[in-house]
Amino acid sequence: MNDELLYQIALTQVSHIGFVQARILVQHLGSASAIFKASPSSLEKIEGIGEVRANSIKKFSDFESARKEMNFLEKYKVKPLFMTDTDYPQRLLHCYDLPVLLYYKGKTDLNATKIIAIVGTRSNTEYGKHFTEKLIKDLVAHQVVIASGLAFGIDAIAHKAAMKNKLPTIGVVGHGLDQMYPPQHVVLAKEMVNEGGGILTEFRSGVKPDKHNFPGRNRIVAGICDATIVIETGIKGGSMITADLANGYNRDVFALPGKVTDQKSMGCNQLIQSNKAILLTDAQQFIQVMGWEEKQNVQGPRQRVLFIELSADEKRVIESLNEKEVMHIDELNLRTGLSNSAIAAAILNLELQNVIETLPGKLYKVIR
């Protein structure tokens, strides 16, 4: 454990410094240690920080608490993941409210090619249980990682079904890793870690599973995944929050439809009706929508159209994509400065001309 980690943990404890401010500071100064070593005058000049936040950083003195957390991490082999680390879930970097620091107990790659969230009610029906188990079984060939919130009901069913089918599964919790909530899932959590999965949180040890922590937990579930699948939920609840967050992050959302008279399906039906979720029928349909089908190359690779005449908008998209191997739609929007409708039209035309390729999770790349 190093001094940089000490400052990283401390940064999450400074009053008046939230996710947004921490990200701004890291972008300007490069590291947590540089933030604490900067002068108050230089800190307050950074847009979005100001005098009050600059003074909060300089007056912070509870480094002993951060050292205790470092000892906890070392003792229990918990891996800290700061926002600039390569092992940090890169999908979260496209979320404006990304966690500054994550704590991870597990082996699964948080940047695996295919990660999906399966969430739903705590009081599921047999219909929801059966569909969840069959869906996961039918996804085995695609080696997906299953993420959920380790709650009763659909969450636990998804975690157990993943392990039964030898798929890694990640539980995102709303408390520190010195405890487990609900306590009945202590054994389940250990099994998930032992079977190659993991437990992830943004909360340090000692933080209790208070109600206000769970919306934050839900944003991580939505943010680390390519898609969120909602299996049975009422109009209100954590699953609806997760679906809304996933939509806000430009991630695909799917919902299992149910009877219009069924209280446990009303949330799913509403998501579908309001075009916030795609109606989910089975694994094959999900695979098709996500673009995960194995492409048959019977006639050889498609040939790119020669001497393509690109519009100004299309040229801006290509220029931006050439800067990185793969780019998320949010970053593409930011780099090109185009409106949503303009960039959508440009992307469609470029796809039709076989110039760019769409990847799961609303990622794009130039076909070389």
Q: Do both 139 and 208 map to the same domain? A: yes
State the total domains in the chain.
3
Residue 93, in any domain of the structure: no
3-state secondary structure of 121: coil
Task: Work out the average pLDDT over 196-210.
Answer: 96
| φ and ψ of 304, to 5 deg | -70, 140
Residue 100, in any domain of the structure: no
- Sign of the dihedral through C-alpha 75, 203, 151, 166: negative
Q: Do both 184 and 284 map to the same domain? A: yes
Q: Do both 189 and 139 map to the same domain? A: yes
Check residue 308 and give its pLDDT.
Answer: 62
Residue 218, in any domain of the structure: yes
Per-position DSSP letters for 299-332, written without gaps between them: T-SPPPPSS----HHHHHHHHHHTTSSSEEHHHH
Q: What percent of the chain has pLDDT over 70?
A: 95
- pLDDT > 80? residue 340: no
For 96, other C-beta atoms within 10 Å of its C-beta total 10
Q: What is the pLDDT of residues 94-114, one digit of tens each?
A: 888 999 999 999 999 999 999
Q: How confident is the model at residue 351 (pLDDT cuts 50, 70, 90)?
A: confident
Q: Do both 135 and 272 map to the same domain? A: yes
3-state secondary structure of 291: coil
The label of the residue with tokens 């600059």 reads: 54
Q: What is the pLDDT of residues 154-191, one digit of tens each?
A: 999 999 999 999 999 999 999 999 999 999 999 999 99
Q: Do both 226 and 120 map to the same domain? A: yes
Of 42, 66, 90, which residue is a domain's last?
A: 66
For the domain that residue 57 is a member of, what is the CATH number? 1.10.150.20
- pLDDT > 80? residue 323: yes
Residue 343, in any domain of the structure: yes
Q: How far apart are CA 320 and CA 328, in angstroms?
A: 11
Q: Do both 205 and 281 map to the same domain? A: yes
Q: Do both 281 and 319 map to the same domain? A: no
Q: How confident is the model at residue 304 (pLDDT cuts 50, 70, 90)?
A: very low
- pLDDT > 50? residue 7: yes
Check residue 303 and give its pLDDT.
Answer: 46
For the domain that residue 324 is a member of, what is the CATH number? 1.10.10.10
Check residue 201 and give its pLDDT.
Answer: 98
Q: How far apart are CA 334 and CA 132, in angstroms?
A: 37
Q: What percent of the chain has pLDDT over 90?
A: 73
Q: Do both 257 and 362 map to the same domain? A: no
200, 128, 183: which is closest to 158 by C-alpha? 128
Task: Work out the average pLDDT over 339-345.
Answer: 78
- pLDDT > 60? residue 334: yes
Check residue 293 and give its pLDDT.
Answer: 79
- Residues in CB range of 14: below 8 A, 6 or more apart: 56, 57, 60
Check residue 311 and give its pLDDT.
Answer: 84
- pLDDT > 80? residue 294: no
- pLDDT > 80? residue 305: no
Check residue 301 and give its pLDDT.
Answer: 46
Q: Do both 276 and 351 map to the same domain? A: no
Of 66, 90, 122, which residue is a domain's last?
A: 66
CB-count burial class (<10 Å; 0-12, 13-18, 19+) for 295:
exposed
- pLDDT > 80? residue 341: no
For 156, other C-beta atoms within 10 Å of its C-beta total 20
CA 128 to chain centre: 24
What is the span of the domain harbouring residue 8? Answer: 1-66
Check residue 352 and give its pLDDT.
Answer: 77
3-state secondary structure of 28: helix
Q: Do both 224 and 339 map to the same domain? A: no
Task: Work out the average pLDDT over 87-91.
Answer: 94
Q: What is the pLDDT of residues 120-160, one digit of tens each?
A: 999 999 999 999 999 999 999 999 999 999 999 999 999 99
Residue 27, in any domain of the structure: yes
Residue 298, in any domain of the structure: no
CB 182 within 8 A of CB 152: yes
Task: Work out the average pLDDT over 230-255.
Answer: 94
Of 66, 88, 118, which residue is a domain's last?
A: 66
Q: How confident is the model at residue 285 (pLDDT cuts 50, 70, 90)?
A: very high
Beta strand 227-231 with 198-201 is unpaired
CA distance to 20, 37, 105, 262, per residue, from 54 (Å): 14, 11, 33, 52
CA distance to 43, 89, 112, 145, 274, per residue, from 225 (Å): 34, 9, 10, 9, 22
Q: Which pTM value belongs to this model?
A: 0.80
265: phi > 0 → left, psi -120 to 50 → alpha, else beta; which? alpha
200, 181, 182, 108: which is closest to 145 by C-alpha? 108
Q: Do both 158 and 276 map to the same domain? A: yes
Q: What is the pLDDT of residues 56-76, one digit of tens each?
A: 999 999 999 999 999 999 999
326, 149, 273: which is closest to 223 by C-alpha? 149
**Average pLDDT over the chain, rounded to whole?**
91
Q: At what angle do helices 63-75 and 3-11 cross, to 10 degrees?
A: 110
Q: Do both 285 and 191 map to the same domain? A: yes
Residue 55, in any domain of the structure: yes
Residue 87, in any domain of the structure: no
3-state secondary structure of 268: helix
* Residue 200 host element (H or E): strand 198-201
| φ and ψ of 79, to 5 deg | -95, 120
